[in-house]
Chains A and B, each alone.
Chain A
C-alpha cells in the first residue's frame, strides 16, 4: 500500500494500492475531486505532485513544462511510491500560462511533438 497525503486538505492521508488510477482510488475513499474525460485528455483533474513518484504514461493533456512543474493527471496516474499532492483548482497556479507572453521551448511541448534537448544539440 502507498500513503497519499493531500497537503491542501489538512494533510489528510489515504492508503492506495497503486494498481488503479489515483482518481478512482481516492474518490472511492470519499475525496471530492474535479474530473472530466477519465482518459487523461482534458486536464480537469490535474493535481500538483509535491513528493513521490507516479506513472502517467497514458496522459495526453499535459505539455512537458506542466509535467516539469509537477502536474499529474489523476484519472490515469498510478502511485509508484508514497506521494504528497495539492489537489483541485487551487493547485493550478502554474498550470495555465498566456501562450503569447510565455511561449514553450521545443522540449517543453507535449510529448508527441516535443523535440528533446539532446536532439537539438546534436543537430
Chain B
C-alpha cells in the first residue's frame, strides 16, 4: 500500500523520503490533570492544504475511561515487515502512562475516523508481567515491545512488555535488566545486533511532578545502556554523568548500516552522540551543549530542557527542542561529530521571545514533534506531561496546548513557522486539552526500522 513491495513501509529510508505527502495526522490530546473530567483522546488532524478542513481537528476518538494520560504511541508494523505480505500498518498502539492500559486503534478501516480495536488491560499487564508506566512502542518484525518505567508498584527499573501480533501478552521481552536502574526510551539497529535504552526515573518519582533535588539524590537517570538485541540483555553502560542528566529520547540514524545515534539529555540540555568505533567499541561524546539562559524571576538560569530529538529520514538533519527556552533547532549532521546549527524558530517558552504564534497565545514550549518523510514539514506540540506542565506552565490548564507547523529547508537548511497552519487546543469542544505526540498513517520519522 505504501511501498514498492508487498508489506508495510518502505524498502529503504531513501524510498520512504519519496512517499506521498501526509494528509492526516493522529495526535494525542489529554484531559488528565486538567480538572476536566473527560477521557483523553486521539485527534485526527487534516493536514491536506487542498482540503477545506485544513489545519483542523476532524475527528476525536475518546478512550473508554478517564485519566489514562496518553503520551507516546507506535505502529503495529513498520518497514521492518516490508517483505511480509501478511502484515499491514493498520493499528496504532497507544499506552496510558497512568492507567497502564494499551489501546489498540484501527486507523485503516476509516483513516479519518479511527476506532478502538482492542484494549490490553492495564491490570492484566501488572498481574502477568509486574510492569507499569508504559512509554515507547516499537514493532519488532511482526511482534511488539513496549518499554515500561516501573514495576506494578511504580518502582524502577521496569522492563519490556512483549505482545504478539494479535496484541496478546506474551510476557516480559527481556531476559535480564542487568543492573539498569531506570528505563525510558529505546531504539534498535538490527544489523549491529544492538539496542540502546535511556533513563528517566521511576513512575513514583516523575509522575507526581519534578523535584529538582531528587536529581542530586540519584532518583533520575544519567546513563545509556547498550543491549545485545538477540540475547535480550544489557551488556554495557555508558555513564554520562553531569553531561547526561535525564537522558530521554534515543534515535539511531535511519540508514540500517549506520551505528551512529543520538540522545537528548533533558536537564543537561546536551545532545549525546554515540557510535561503534572501528575496533567494535561503543563510544560517546557530547556534541551539542545548550547554555542555560538568565531570567529576571529565576534565582538560577533556566535550562533548555531538551525533552525530545528527531533525525530526518535522509539522516541529514537532527532536530532538538528546548521546552523551557521556547526554541526548536535544526542541525546539519552530515558529520555527526560536528553538528552545524542551520535553523531555529521560537514558539512560547519562558524567555518570552515568541508568546504569540499566528495569532494564538502559546502556553508551554516546543515539546513533541513529528517530521514528514520528505523532511519538509514539522508538526510541533507544546505539552510535556500533565504534572510537569502544571509546574512550569500553569496557564496551559486554561489555555490548552497548541500545534504549530514548521517549514524546513532540506536543501540549504533553515526553519520557518508556516503562517497558514495553527491549531489551538484551547478551543476544543470539551474545553482546553493538551496535545502531545503525532503520527502519520503512512509512517513517519520516529517509527521505521530496517532489518
Contact = CB atoms under 8 A, between A and B. Distances in A.
B390 A92 contact: yes
B166 interface: no
Nearest to B66: A34
Interface string B84-105: 0000000000000011000000
Contacts of A26: none
Contacts of B341: none
Interface magnitude class on chain A:
20 to 34
Given A61-B207, A61-B208, A109-B217, A100 B302 contact: yes
B290 to A, nearest CB: 16
Nearest to B302: A100
Contacts of A99: 209-213, 391
B359 interface: no
A39 B100 CA distance: 13
Contacts of A32: 37
Most buried by B among A61, A95, A100, A106: A100
A68 B300 CA distance: 26
A62 interface: yes
B429 interface: no
B238 to A, nearest CB: 26
B397 to A, nearest CB: 8
Given A96-B387, A96-B391, A100-B300, A44 B67 contact: yes
Interface in B80-124: 98-99
Contact of A104 (B34, B66, B154, B211): B211
Given A43-B207, A44-B67, A96-B387, A89 B212 contact: no
A104 B300 CA distance: 14
Contact of B299 (A42, A62, A63, A101): A101
Nearest to A45: B67
A36 B69 CA distance: 9
Interface in B1-59: 32-35, 37
B207 A103 contact: no
Given A97-B391, A99-B211, A101-B298, A39 B35 contact: no
Given A103-B212, A113-B217, 5 more contacts: A39-B154, A42-B204, A43-B207, A44-B98, A89-B34
A-B pairs, 6 with minimum CB distance = A89-B35, A43-B208, A36-B98, A41-B154, A61-B208, A99-B212
